[in-house]
Amino acid sequence: MTSTSLNTMSASELARRLNRREITAEQAVRASLARIELRESQVGAWTCVAADAALARARELDQGPVRGLLHGLPLGIKDVFDTVDFSTEYGSSIHRGNRPAADSAVAALCKEAGAVVIGKTTTTEFAVVAPAGTRNPRRLTHTPGGSSSGSAAAVADWMVPLAVGTQTGSSTIRPAAFCGVVGYKPTFGLVARAGIKSVSESLDTVGFFARTVQDVGLLAAAASGDTRLLDTQAQGAPRFAVCKTHEWPQADADTQAAMSEAESGLAGAGASVGELILPRLYSLLGQAQIEIQAFEMVRALAYERINHRARISERLAVMLDQGMRISAERHEMNCALADKARRLIGDCFGDRDVLIAPSTIGEAPPGLDDTGSPVFCRMWTLLGLPCVHVPFTVGRTGLPMGLQVIGRRGADREALQAAAWMHARLTGDPNVEQ
């Protein structure tokens, strides 16, 4: 095994070999750095990379005991997470060179678990809409999606096996889908948000990227301390329900085809696949998510909005203006609607373990000026349910396609297990289930 192929290995496999001292952290980190050196000028997934510091840290780990779940694993961290050893600019020129006083909780916990932070990955401006310029490694003329553009692209391009991001609307699931990797947005509240640039308190959620479901479970277990997420092996076939959602008319032929492929593939593999038609109430959640985010952004980004208006992108400024027009009464109504929908969604699952639903309208769209539509993610973020994007096919032009698996609130392990089961069955690759 040469270090040049270590960058394509899953995090879980790397961890096994690192724990047995069959490979060194330095080798793993060198493999990551070599890939970044080769490809970063084209992909643009990073705001900064600290090669020397990462190598020093890797050598230190190699000389000590195994530190934790992520011992020696290269990690990318989205640049909305505060880090003491990297500048943290939140995708905005307002914060150029900002060096926070403390690591975000996720950064600190991942480092404690032995991760080697390679650098910070790109984000749209404040994790909202204005793109970072990152390219989709599967086709460089196309968007990687956002807002966690760099984390998805870096994992898809074999630069790192693991990366963290966030999701307020569709910022984990969409870039995972466009780049063809696994993305996992946990149940709201499962992972601490301390030290993340806040955009919308009701919605901001930490997200995880890897190339297998087992790997996102590993990363999430380290970041949350919930080791139940390590067990991604389903006991028997999960009970699925296809949930096309009220947004289904917006799904293009690729998404329709992916859904058909999943339905027949899962049924063929022995799973029970039902269908869930959501009550009308759920057709209102997309708009509620937009308004709740806009209302809360006006407040969360008050400092920047008030003092640095000229350095805010036009697109974000428009959203902030929209947010300014939403009254406290209307926000209250939106929150009450969301509460009601959250209360009722458990019963909607019926006897199903998980739902499968579109992640995106279709393949990653061409161009770098827009990160694509968030329409298929807004509702699930607002509901706070665990979502796992599973890539398993390609669209008409050959770009990655997949679907998201959605679990009950708090049933993150079950969602990961169903996603891993589906990933293995639909890709025919027995390794991806592990």
Instruction: Kindly list the catalytic residues.
Output: 78, 147, 171
Short-list 177, 133, 169, CA closest to 363? 177
Structure tokens at 407: 């679990």
By the rule CB under 8 A, 105 interacts with a second copy: yes
Continuous H helices in 134-212: 149-156, 173-179
Q: Is 264 helix (H, G, I), strand (E, B) or coil?
A: helix
Q: Which amino acid makes up residue 161?
A: P
Task: Specify the DSSP class assigned to residue 364.
Answer: P
Output the smallest distance, CB 266 to a second copy, in A.
29
Contact pattern for a second copy over residues 258 through 297, marking x by CB under 8 A: --------------------------------------x-
In angstroms, the CA 354 to CA 238 distance is: 8
Choose which of 98, 233, 250, 434 interacts with a second copy (CB under 8 A). Answer: 98
Sole binder of a second copy in the list 100, 114, 165, 395 (CB under 8 A): 100
Q: Which of 148, 171, 202, 359 binds a second copy (CB under 8 A)?
A: 202
Residue 102 binds to a second copy (criterion: CB under 8 A): yes
> For residue 314, what are the contacts with CB-CB under 8 A and spacing of at least 6?
none
Q: For a second copy, what does the binding mask look like between residues 146 and 185, x meaning CB under 8 A?
A: ----------------------------------------
Residue 35 touches a second copy, criterion: CB under 8 A: no
DSSP string, 214-238: HHHHHHHHHHH--GGGG----SS--
301 binds a second copy (CB under 8 A): yes
Contact between 328 and a second copy by CB under 8 A: the answer reads yes
Residue whose structure tokens are 């329900």: 241
* DSSP-assigned letter for residue 171: T
Q: Is 213 in the site for a second copy (CB under 8 A)?
A: no
Residue 24 lies near a second copy (rule: CB under 8 A): no
Q: Which of 206, 176, 207 is nearest to 360 (CA)?
A: 176
* Binding flag, residue 299, a second copy (CB under 8 A): yes
* Residue 95 found at the interface with a second copy (CB under 8 A): yes
Instruction: Between 140 and 302, name the residue whose CB sits nearer to a second copy.
Output: 302
Q: Which is nearer to a second copy, 314 or 329 (CB)?
A: 329
Residue placing its CB nearer to a second copy in the complex, 413 or 425:
413
Q: State the chain's maximal CA–CA distance in angstroms.
A: 62
Kindly identify the residues of this chain, within the stretch 362-421, that bind a second copy according to CB under 8 A: 410
- Please select the residue that binds a second copy; options are 249, 306, 347, 351, rule is CB under 8 A: 306
Q: Is 189 in the site for a second copy (CB under 8 A)?
A: yes
Residue with tokens 């169903």: 418
Angle at alpha carbon of residue 376, lines to 239 and 422, rounded to 5°: 30
Q: If binding is defined by CB under 8 A, does position 112 make contact with a second copy? A: yes
Contacts of residue 20, defined as CB under 8 A and 6 or more positions apart, other chains included, come to none
116: contact with a second copy by CB under 8 A: no
Total of residues contacting a second copy (CB under 8 A): 44
**Of 247, 241, 209, 265, nearest to 424 (Cα)?**
265
Q: Give the x-and-dash track for 62-91 against a second copy (CB under 8 A).
A: ----------------------x-------
User: CB of 98: closest distance to a second copy in angstroms?
Assistant: 4
Dist CA 105 CA 111 (whole Å): 10
DSSP conformation letters of 54-106: HHHHHHHHHHS---STTTT-EEEEETTB--SSS---TT-GGGTT---SS--HH
Closest approach of Cβ 124 to a second copy, in Å? 18
| 333: contact with a second copy by CB under 8 A | no
Of the CA atoms within 13 Å of residue 190, those in its CB half-sphere come to: 31
Positions in the binding site for a second copy (CB under 8 A): 84, 95, 98, 100-105, 107-109, 111-112, 189, 192-195, 197-198, 201-202, 224-228, 296, 298-304, 306-307, 328-329, 332, 335, 343, 410
